[in-house]
């Protein structure tokens, strides 16, 4: 999630990463400080400065500017020492990113295992190892390693989300849902994880037979919670519209319910209408200042398509 810094890099947001990476020479201070060995300024020895450097490192790797990335890494390890866990993780990332072939990646993996045999609780390196296993197409190993990590550090929301993602990629829906719920227990107010859990439930409910109705109902609930927490979250409304129409199509909701916990068919219909209306509103307002929402253009296009589909259905009915 983006912070207030403005130059924050969102993992999936390539555009802002590119923008940040282009500023690399200015931030690293070429011209003012020609040699790497001279730290930029002593007065800038603050936490913000170094987390900014770390972000710059990631952005440079993402955009292929390996030289600047190397320089960032050098500075970080100069300040915190090469034995710092976080710096070790970053160095591993650099080696992975600059690896030429699978053999080089295998070498990285061997190196991680060597580090972990010396210091078993080195969380950044453990995470790098898991990510590497995943990109080497060994998801079962990655899941095993991740379970080991979570057994030791069960309060790491990021790891739980990753585990859910891995489970889902293996088609293990209920395990994925469990992991996502664990992540939510750690960060109960993150609307994006609520929406993600809703998506998982939605996918499960459309593929499984047994209690598809219950899963679909829970999916609607989590999307509702997501938009309750953030009332212009496009993904939440999109999911709500999808989940609600899924419930309606399969007639999971009773016509009128005695139990207040189970919503009636009419409520779900209203929810779907609400979601579609808000989506329409969001799409229109965001299409106007296109630049500001440039990073989420894909979501916007998907939302437009959904709206078109429903309006086509509606006009066909009429």
Partner 1 sequence: MAAQGVEQTILRDPALFYWILFPISVVMILTGILRHYATVLMNTPPKPASTLAESRERHALLRGVNLRNHGCAVLDREAFEARRNYLVNGFRTGAFLKDPNNRGQPPANPMTDPAGMEAMMGMLKGNMMMMIPQTLIMSWINAFFSGFVILKLPFPLTIRFKSMLQSGVMTRDLDVQWVSSLSWYFLNLMGLQSIFGFILGSDNAANQMAQQMGMANPAAMMNPMQPGQDPDKLFLAEAENLEVMEHFSILNGIEERVLRNFAPEVN
- x-or-dash string of contact with partner 1, 161-180, rule CB under 8 A: -----------------x--
CA pair distance 173, 175, nearest whole angstrom: 5
Residue 14 or 150: which CB sits closer to partner 1?
Answer: 150
Q: Is residue 291 a contact point for partner 1 (CB under 8 A)?
A: no
Q: Is residue 91 a contact point for partner 1 (CB under 8 A)?
A: no
In the list 6, 37, 42, 47, the residue contacting partner 1 (rule: CB under 8 A) is 47
The window from 15-23, 99-107, 218-226, 304-312 that contacts partner 1 (CB under 8 A) reads 218-226
- 90-94: long-range contacts, CB 8 A cutoff, minimum separation 24: 90/54, 90/57, 90/124, 92/124, 92/125, 92/128, 92/132, 93/58, 93/61, 93/128, 94/57, 94/61, 94/66, 94/69, 94/70
Cβ atoms within 10 A of the Cβ of 177, count? 21
The window from 16-24, 25-33, 78-86, 92-100 that contacts partner 1 (CB under 8 A) reads 78-86
Burial label, 308 (beta-carbon count in 10 A; 0-12, 13-18, 19+): exposed
In the list 277, 287, 290, 311, the residue contacting partner 1 (rule: CB under 8 A) is 277
Q: Is residue 113 a contact point for partner 1 (CB under 8 A)?
A: no
Q: Is residue 12 a contact point for partner 1 (CB under 8 A)?
A: no
State the nearest-atom distance from the C-beta of 298 to partner 1, in Å.
25
CA pair distance 85, 83, nearest whole angstrom: 6
CA pair distance 193, 222, nearest whole angstrom: 9
CA pair distance 191, 236, nearest whole angstrom: 8
The secondary structure element, H or E, covering residue 216 is: helix 212-229
State the nearest-atom distance from the C-beta of 207 to partner 1, in Å.
20
Which residues contribute to the site for partner 1 (CB under 8 A)? 45-47, 50, 79-80, 84-86, 89, 119-121, 123-124, 148, 151-156, 158, 178, 181, 184-186, 188-189, 218, 220-222, 224-225, 227-228, 231, 260-261, 263, 267-268, 270-271, 274, 277-278, 281
């Amino acid at each position: 999630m983006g912070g207030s810094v403005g130059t924050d890099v969102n993992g999936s947001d390539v555009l802002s990463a590119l923008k940040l990476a282009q500023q690399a020479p200015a931030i690293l201070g070429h011209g003012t400080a020609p040699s790497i060995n001279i730290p930029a300024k002593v007065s800038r020895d603050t936490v913000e400065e170094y987390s900014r450097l770390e972000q710059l490192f990631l952005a440079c790797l993402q955009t292929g500017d390996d030289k600047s990335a190397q320089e960032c890494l050098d500075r970080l390890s100069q300040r915190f020492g090469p034995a710092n866990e976080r710096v070790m993780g970053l160095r591993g990332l650099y080696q992975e990113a600059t690896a030429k072939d699978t053999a080089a990646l295998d070498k990285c993996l061997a190196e991680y295992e060597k580090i972990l045999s010396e210091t078993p609780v080195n969380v950044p390196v453990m995470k790098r190892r898991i990510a590497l296993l995943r990109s080497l197409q060994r998801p079962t190993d990655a899941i095993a390693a991740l379970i080991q990590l979570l057994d030791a550090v069960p309060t790491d929301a990021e790891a739980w989300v990753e585990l859910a993602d891995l489970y889902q990629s293996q088609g293990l829906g209920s395990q994925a849902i469990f992991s996502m719920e664990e992540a939510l227990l750690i960060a109960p107010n993150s609307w994006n994880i609520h929406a993600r859990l809703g998506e998982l439930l939605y996918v499960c409910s459309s593929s499984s037979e047994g209690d598809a109705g219950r899963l679909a109902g829970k999916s609607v609930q989590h999307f509702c919670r997501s938009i309750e927490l953030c009332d212009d979250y496009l993904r939440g409304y999109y999911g709500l519209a999808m989940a609600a129409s899924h419930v309606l199509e399969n007639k999971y909701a009773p016509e009128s319910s005695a139990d207040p916990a189970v919503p009636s068919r009419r409520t779900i219909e209203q929810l779907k209408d609400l979601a579609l209306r808000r989506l329409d509103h969001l799409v229109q307002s965001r299409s106007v200042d296109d630049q500001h929402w440039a990073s989420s253009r894909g979501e916007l296009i998907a939302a437009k398509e959904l709206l078109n589909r429903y309006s086509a259905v509606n006009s066909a009915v009429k």
